[in-house]
Amino acid sequence: MSIFVYDKNNPLIKVLIINTAVFILMLFIQLVSFLFTGNSQVFLNPVVHFLAVPASLKKLLFHFWSPITYMFLHTDFWHFFFNMLWLYFGGLMFVMYIDSRKLIPLYILGGLSGAVLFILSYNIFPVFLPVRQWSYALGASASITAIIIAIAVYQPLTDVYLFGVFRMKLFWIAIFFVIWDLFSIMGDNAGGHIAHLGGAIFGYFFAYYLKRGKDITSILQNFNFKTSHRKKYHFNMRTSNDKEYNENVHQIRKELDRILEKISKHGYKRLSKKEREFLNKYKDYF
């Protein structure tokens, strides 16, 4: 994981910056609210209700933007801290093993899937009827779960060291969290765990189809998530001969896999200058 270097065009950096900026804004609103009213929630609550996704279909009709905005919204420090921690390490693995271009589309679509399952559950199951009118979901957890599950399905045998000590396969960690979210629905944060499961479902299908050559996030990749000069360079790789293009892509992927394997065994510092240049040149395209 030591290959991560700050780059404002890195999709992972972009998502982290957006989440951090929104969280700082929420803190500032709480401060202003406290200074003027003595209660930090007076000004904050209307903003949260404006940006968080409501379970009520009537409220959703007038807050149609909320299934997008909720996935960048945090008001509690520990909620924000642990979400960003998971996003950072999950995002690193995603960029390493899958494709940096797919990170933001998966984040958004995974979050949307979480919002959809949350809304459907609160409008279908009778147990949620008494609290549906006042229930909201917020946070990046569904999006992050989609990313984690996608990696676990795509690279299930990847070793992860919990707390830097316990070695486990990523697949089993993902299974544990899915089961945990499923049975935690009976707890105090039912909506949040349901949203996690929505993200997990999308992450699974994303990886399932990707392994079969189909990218279900491609509809969002047409948006300019990258700088224009990088996008132009990527498309200039294609030649008039599709067979030649596919062979070039195969060779680049093969070399990237070799370099990443070398990093995992010996660390980034052991790369030659040529290998570092190759990695920096192609890491954002595969």
Q: How confident is the model at residue 162 (pLDDT cuts 50, 70, 90)?
A: low
Stretch 173-200: mean pLDDT, rounded?
Answer: 94
Task: Using a pLDDT cut of 70, give the percent of the chain over it.
Answer: 81
Neighbouring C-alpha atoms within 13 Å toward the C-beta of 109:
20
Stretch 165-173: mean pLDDT, rounded?
Answer: 82
Q: How confident is the model at residue 158 (pLDDT cuts 50, 70, 90)?
A: confident
18-27, 142-151, 159-168, 195-204: segment of lowest average pLDDT: 159-168
Fold designation for 11-210: Rhomboid-like fold (1.20.1540)
CA distance 106 to 202: 8
Q: How confident is the model at residue 5 (pLDDT cuts 50, 70, 90)?
A: very low
Q: What's the pLDDT at 228?
A: 39
Q: What's the pLDDT at 73?
A: 97
Task: Using a pLDDT cut of 90, give the percent of the chain over it.
Answer: 59
Stretch 219-223: mean pLDDT, rounded?
Answer: 69
Q: Which two tokens stand for residue 71?
A: 């996935």
Q: What's the pLDDT at 256?
A: 76
Domain boundaries, the chain: 11-210, 228-282
Q: How confident is the model at residue 266 (pLDDT cuts 50, 70, 90)?
A: low
Q: What's the pLDDT at 273?
A: 79
Q: Which two tokens stand for residue 120?
A: 């459907």
Predicted TM-score (pTM) of this structure: 0.77
Dihedral over alpha carbons 51, 53, 59, 62 (to 10 degrees): 50
